[in-house]
Amino acid sequence: MTRYIFITGGVVSSLGKGIAAASLGAILESHGLSVTLLKLDPYINVDPGTMNPFQHGEVFVTEDGAETDLDLGHYERFVQTKMRRANNFTAGQIYESVLCRERRGAYLGQTVQVIPHITNEIQIFIQGGVHAAGGGAPDIAIVEIGGTVGDIESLPFLEAARQMSLQLGRRRACFVHLTLVPYLPMSGELKTKPTQHSVQKLREIGILPHALLCRANRVLPMDERAKISLFANVPQDAVISMPDVANIYAIPNMLHAQGLDDILCAELGLTLPPADLSVWTRMADALEHPRHRVTIGMVGKYVDSTESYKSLVEALKHASIHTSTRVEIEYIDSEAIEKGGLPALTHLDAILVPGGFGARGVEGKIAAIQTARNAKIPFLGICLGMQLAVIEFARHVVGLAHANSTEFDPDTPDPVVALITEWHDRAGTVEKRSTHSDLGGTMRLGAQRSPVNAGTQAARIYGASVNERHRHRFEVNNRFVPKLEAHGMVISAATPEHGLPEMMELQPNLHPWFIGVQFHPEFTSTPRAGHPLFNSFVQAALEYQRARTTPASTPLKTCNG
């Protein structure tokens, strides 16, 4: 029977419940347990797909094409279970489901209320998420409840968790509460009162935490742990210190060293073999003791909020582990390029242009791509980054001065990037784009497999086929592909059904490492295995760095990906 661990948060949001939940999942997996994780989001949006990245952070895409909270990315990086659509749901989805039931007469004329109808629906969604992956029920389901205790939006979710734990009975459910212990530099003290009040609020709801994860900017001294234990009515050994760390992949070992897994397994009535966390020890050591260092410029318009590129940043860390290279990311605001001109980029060892939506900052990215191409700096373009690389090449190499995407200029005479409905299909017809569209439901989403052309750099990286996750509406226009290829651009992978370009690269005589991908490879990168594309990108940056610092007479090793 599946046992449940509910993760709640208090005082403030963004304390790291997702990483804490994922780290706990990694520890339990190391004991030989099967684990799944769920994220319950209290906002009314149906999904985060159309939410502002500055406010919400990255949208993570699952293999089955769901746009989900970024915490699901943490889950997939820490545990080996693949997340699916059912692993993340919102208050919007819950209320939508209940209202649809009411319209169909499912409640037989009852007055529909938060309790029991909304709370029952939340429990139904939790049970559905736990069993969605197939292959039998997991041993442990870790359920992270978004928001903080006291938020009016979170109350139905907390009440549903309380009811569910009561129905499950002893040894089937437990609660972990993550809270802030702020440090006041003026008095030189860690203050435990916010944690005390947070636990008190949780107990008022009827939830008694079995362990506390105390976030602070330093290790929590024993005196503070004893004080929290006394006032929160939690055993002192269950008051776990979670200080700030430079490397999140050290957290599983940190929590295990304080016995969190033993405390929870005892509460759930589980007797387990010893944990084997050696893989996490090796990964943390590799990040902390690199042999090389490179600087990669990330040119985007969300650089003021690195949460917007969370999976991408982590994928570069994974490449750091597997190439023994410290990757320093220099964030470059593409809007600032448009306003103030392109800064010197020749000190960079590689340039990366990530995905995004909208016209803002696009010309700044194109300018950076042109510099990368001309200066032979290793370049990786992801999703929009690939589309802009095609536009840049079409303008400055092919000679299509007005080349653009119809996303930015609907009337461009050279729509090298467009919606499929805007360019000629195989029958030679053209359909006009509708002026109204459902922005949350018109994208190519989820994992899709495509063959890779032999003899290309893409083939050396991926092999015979590529299977990655997508999140985009616009495509490289096949009408222009012959012109692009005639000037040295190679479409190294395309979808088998419609021939939509999935990967592009430049011929070796034009550039040693210049690759664009329509998909999002960062969503499938994990610290255990890394990702072949990012490993190759970082290796190319190393080769470029060596070439700049090696006398011309010294032969250089060629990077083959």
Instruction: Name the residues annotated as catalytic.
Output: 383, 520, 522
Helix H, strand E, coil C: the string for 445-513 is EEEEEEEECCCCHHHHHHCCEEEEEEEECCEECHHHHHHHHHCCEEEEEECCCCCCEEEEEECCCCCCC
Q: What's the full length of the chain, in residues?
A: 561
Contact predicate 353/391, CB 8 Å: no
Contact predicate 379/540, CB 8 Å: no
**Alpha-carbon gap, residue 177 to 168, rounded angstroms:** 19
Extract the tokens encoding 447.
């994992």
Tally of CA atoms within 13 A in the half-sphere of 321 that contains its CB: 24
- DSSP assigned state of 530: B
Q: How far is CA 475 from the centre of its chain?
A: 23
Alpha carbon separation from 346 to 337, 343, 370 (Å, rounded): 15, 9, 12
For tokens 């690389």, what's the residue? 389
One-letter amino acid of 41: D
**Alpha-carbon gap, residue 61 to 67, rounded angstroms:** 5
**Alpha-carbon gap, residue 47 to 359, rounded angstroms:** 23
Q: How far apart are the first and last CA of the chain?
A: 46
- DSSP assigned state of 83: P
3-class DSSP assignment, residue 243: strand
Side-by-side strand order, sheet with 489-494 = 325-333, 292-300, 350-353, 379-382, 514-517, 501-506, 489-494
Q: How far is CA 8 from the centre of its chain?
A: 21
Q: Which helix (H) or strand (E) holds 275?
A: none
Q: Which of 560, 556, 549, 557 is nearest to 347 (CA)?
A: 549
Alpha carbon separation from 336 to 149, 309, 343, 368 (Å, rounded): 39, 18, 9, 12
Contact predicate 387/417, CB 8 Å: yes
Alpha carbon separation from 99 to 113, 164, 440 (Å, rounded): 11, 22, 20
Tell me the torsion sign for CA atoms 546, 549, 550, 553. positive
For tokens 């109808």, what's the residue? 117
**Alpha-carbon gap, residue 456 to 508, rounded angstroms:** 10
Peptide bond into 252 cis (omega under 30): no
Extract the tokens encoding 361.
């900052």
